[in-house]
Structure formats: C-alpha cells, structure tokens
Amino acid sequence: MNIRVTLDGQPVDATLNDHAVARDLVSLLPLSLDLEDFHQTERIAYPPRKLDTSGAPAPAAPKTGDLAYYAPWGNLALFHRDGDSASADLIVLGHVDAGDTERLANAEHITIEAAP
C-alpha cells in the first residue's frame, strides 16, 4: 500500500505492508504527529487510538527505516537503527526511505497521508 510520508516538512518515499494492522492505520489517515526519541534507536509518537492487532503478521526484527507499531503502549515507531530482535508486541507496518539515517534520527514531526 502506498502512502505519503513527510518528515519535518520534507516528503519521503514510503510504503505500507499489506496486512490488517497496516490497514487499520490507514483508517486513521491523515495523521500529523510529533516524534520523540526512544533509546537512540527509534522515534516514537502516539496515534489518536490504539490499532487493532488482530490479524497481525508474524514477528520480524525491525530494520532501519521501518515504521512499526508497539501494541502494549499503542505507539508508532520509526526506526533509525536496526532493532535487536523480533517481538510479538512489535508489528512492522511498512518502510520509510528517508535517504539517510540522520534524517530519521533527528525527525521531530511526521505526517502520514493516503497516497493520491
């Protein structure tokens, strides 16, 4: 699924995986969220409600650029470093190709919209 992602006012290429949790995220679009650092590995933000995780895909370790959802806290996570391991609580929703990890690591605001 194609989406439009903007980091700090600059558009980046992004796609969502085709599964139920990612489709639930699409139902919330457009989203405009402030990001904060979490463990110098990811930037996190909280959508207006928790996503429905029924039908979630098998766990996968997040990679740099992955947009993920951490179910226990209900937050989105944009990884600027590879994650340590796969977790059933972390659902990879898609991928953002920002061109360099510094851009991901320093992003303060994300806008996610449906692609035209």
Q: What letter represents residue 63's amino acid? A: K
pTM over the 0.75 mark: yes
For the domain made up of 3-114, give the CATH fold: Cyclophilin (2.40.100)
Domain ranges of the chain: 3-114
The answer to whether the beta carbons of residues 52 and 84 sit under 8 Å apart is: no
Q: How far apart are CA 70 and CA 92, in angstroms?
A: 9
4-56: per-residue pLDDT in tens?
999 999 999 999 999 999 999 999 999 999 999 999 999 999 999 999 999 99
3-class state of residue 23 by DSSP: helix
Place of tokens 């944009």: 78
One-letter identity of residue 25: L
Average pLDDT, the chain: 95
